[in-house]
Amino acid sequence: MKFIKKTIPLLIVFVVGVLSLISYYVPHKTSVNFIELMSKWENIVSAFAFLLGLISLFFSHYHKISRKVDGWGYSIFVFIGFFAIIIPAILNHGKSMTAAGPTSLGWAYSSIYTALSGTMFAVLAFYIVSTAYRSFRIKSKQAFVLFVAAFVLILGKVPLGQIIWTSVLGWTHVTVSTVIDWIMTVPAVAGKRGIMIGIAIGAIVTSFKIIFGIERQYLGKD
Partner 1 sequence: MIKNKAICTLVLSIFTAGAVFAAKPVPAAKKTPPPASVAAISGFTAADMPYDVGGAALLRWPVNPADTPDTVYTVYTSTLASGGWVKADEFAASANIGKDVDMPFWAWDGSAGEHALKVELNSFFGEVPPEASYHFRISSSEKGKLAAESLPVEMTTKGNWFRLDRLNNLVLLVVIIIVFFWAVSHAKRKGLFIRRIAGLDAIEEAIGRATEMGKPIFYLTGTQPMSTISTIASTLILGEVAKKVAQYDSYIKIPHYDPIVMTVCKEVVKQSYMEAGRPDSYREDHNFFVSQDQFSYAASVDGMLEREKPAAVFFMGYFSAEALLLAEVGATNGAIQIAGTDAEGQLPFFFTACDYTLIGEELYAAGAYLSGEPMLKSALKVQDFGKLVVMLSVFFGIIAVAIGAKMHWDSLVHVILNMFKAY
**What amino acid is encoded at 124 in this protein?**
L
Total residues contacting partner 1 by CB under 8 A comes to 62
Residue 133 or 171: the one with the smaller Cβ distance to partner 1 is 133
Instruction: Please select the residue that binds partner 1; options are 27, 141, 171, 173, rule is CB under 8 A.
Output: 27
Residue 44 lies near partner 1 (rule: CB under 8 A): no
Instruction: Please select the residue that binds partner 1; options are 2, 25, 168, 173, rule is CB under 8 A.
Output: 25
The span of 7-15, 92-100, 161-169, 197-205 binding partner 1 (CB under 8 A) equals 197-205
In angstroms, the CA 187 to CA 142 distance is 14
CB-based contacts of 205: which residues, under 8 Å, 6+ apart?
A: none
Neighbours of 108 (CB within 10 A): 21
Scanning 102-158, the segments in alpha helix (DSSP H) are 104-108, 114-135, 141-157
Residue 143 or 158: the one with the smaller Cβ distance to partner 1 is 143
Residue 59 or 107: the one with the smaller Cβ distance to partner 1 is 59
In angstroms, the CA 156 to CA 105 distance is 45
Residue 138 lies near partner 1 (rule: CB under 8 A): no
Residue 131 lies near partner 1 (rule: CB under 8 A): yes
Neighbours of 63 (CB within 10 A): 12
DSSP 6: I
Beta-sheet strands, E only, within the chain: 97-98, 101-102
Residue 174 lies near partner 1 (rule: CB under 8 A): no
- The number of residues in the chain equals 222
CA atoms within 13 A on the CB side of 33: 3
Residue 140 lies near partner 1 (rule: CB under 8 A): no
Residue among 88, 70, 81, 77 at smallest CA distance from 112: 81
Residue 60 lies near partner 1 (rule: CB under 8 A): yes
Residue 8 or 169: the one with the smaller Cβ distance to partner 1 is 8
Give the binding site for partner 1 (CB under 8 A).
21, 24-30, 32, 42, 45-46, 49-54, 56-57, 59-60, 63, 70-71, 74, 116-117, 120-121, 123-124, 127-128, 130-132, 134-135, 192, 195-199, 201-210, 212, 214-215, 217-218, 220-221
